[in-house]
Amino acid sequence: MASGFFALLDDIATLMDDVAAMSKVAGKKTAGLLGDDLAVNAEKASGFLSDREIPVLWAITKGSFINKLIILPIAFLLSAFVPIAIKIILIIGGLYLSYEGAHKIYEWIVPHKKKEDIHDLQDLTKEEMLKHEQEKIKSAILVDFILSVEIVIIALSSVEQAELLNQIFVVSIIAVIATIGVYGIVGLIVRMDEFGVKLINLNERDNSFSDKVGRFLVQGLPWVIKSLSIIGTIALILVSGGIFVHNLHFILDIVHSLPSIVGEFLVGLVVGFTILPVITFGKKIWKSIFKK
């Protein structure tokens, strides 16, 4: 009996070691996408009145957990019974990511209408503010769903040769870390300016150390979000290019002589700007048909 118990403990320890090792690999493969997830959600969770930022972020976080609860069982079932579907979803997701990256670059290059300024929110009624929040929350949860699908599929593809139990453990760990980590950091970012203001008001002395740190945090928030947006866009292009290079052999044959990071970036960029006009034209047709 005792030997059986210790054998069970040994099996559990071995399983945990395998899961930890595979989680590390899966984490590296999804790191780029997590960077974009962070950038996107930092942008989505900003643009609210100060006292509404955390409630809105919490609503988005709960929506993200629900997204994962929907996605994970479906992904595991597909992996077990229709494994080819994982590769198909991965490539479709790669197309979406490359499009998003190209679209962001296009918006930086070509002038477009500026988004609503946060100061305009001061003039909204309570009902209008609630509607504004709900719209942004729904938009953020939808974007999170798409990014979550990609994170789960990429993580799953990195452990596709493992046993199903190991797949479930590894991908679930990545999904939980993605949600807690991303939204935890987003929470710190969106409150950065608020913390800076508190430091400025900490004492009545002018140009004190707390004043300098506070002003640095307040002035630094827009730059942090902008930097994350740039880093996230590069990550989108690289992740999408990596998906095509590692899953479509004819593309690998084209760029195999280039350094991997250069080849993946070029592939993601070319694919993104190839499908950008197609999707843009498709959106215009969709709007013309269904918004008459």
Per-residue pLDDT of the chain (292 residues; tens, 9 = 90+): 444 433 433 433 444 444 444 444 444 555 555 665 666 666 666 656 666 777 888 888 888 889 989 988 988 888 888 888 888 888 888 898 899 889 989 988 887 655 544 445 556 666 777 777 788 788 778 878 877 887 888 777 777 676 777 778 888 888 888 788 778 877 777 777 777 877 777 777 777 777 777 888 878 877 877 787 787 788 778 888 888 998 888 998 999 899 988 999 999 999 999 999 998 888 888 877 776 5
What pLDDT score does 153 carry? Answer: 81
Please answer whether residues 264 and 97 qualify as being in contact, where contact means their C-beta atoms are separated by less than 8 angstroms. Answer: no
Tokens 């595991």 found at = 76
What pLDDT score does 216 carry? Answer: 81
What pLDDT score does 15 carry? Answer: 40
What span, in angstroms and rounded, lies between the C-alpha atoms of 155 and 175? 9
**Is the pTM of the predicted complex or chain greater than 0.75?**
no
Domain ranges of the chain: 17-116+123-290
What span, in angstroms and rounded, lies between the C-alpha atoms of 171 and 76? 9
115: left (phi over 0), alpha (psi -120 to 50) or beta: beta
**Rg of the chain's alpha carbons, rounded to an integer?**
22
What span, in angstroms and rounded, lies between the C-alpha atoms of 223 and 216? 11
Q: Which of 89, 83, 101, 110 is nearest to 33 (CA)?
A: 101
Residue type, 77: L
3-state secondary structure of 162: coil
The maximal CA–CA distance of the chain, rounded, in angstroms, is 74
What span, in angstroms and rounded, lies between the C-alpha atoms of 186 and 41? 7
Please answer whether residues 73 and 262 qualify as being in contact, where contact means their C-beta atoms are separated by less than 8 angstroms. Answer: no
Tokens 């929040």 found at = 133
Packing angle of the helix pair 164-190, 126-157 (nearest 10 deg): 140
3-state secondary structure of 159: coil
What pLDDT score does 269 carry? Answer: 94
266: Cβ contacts below 8 Å, ≥ 6 apart? 241, 255, 258
The pair of structure tokens assigned to 224 is 């942090």
Packing angle of the helix pair 164-190, 209-247 (nearest 10 deg): 150
The pair of structure tokens assigned to 143 is 């974007």
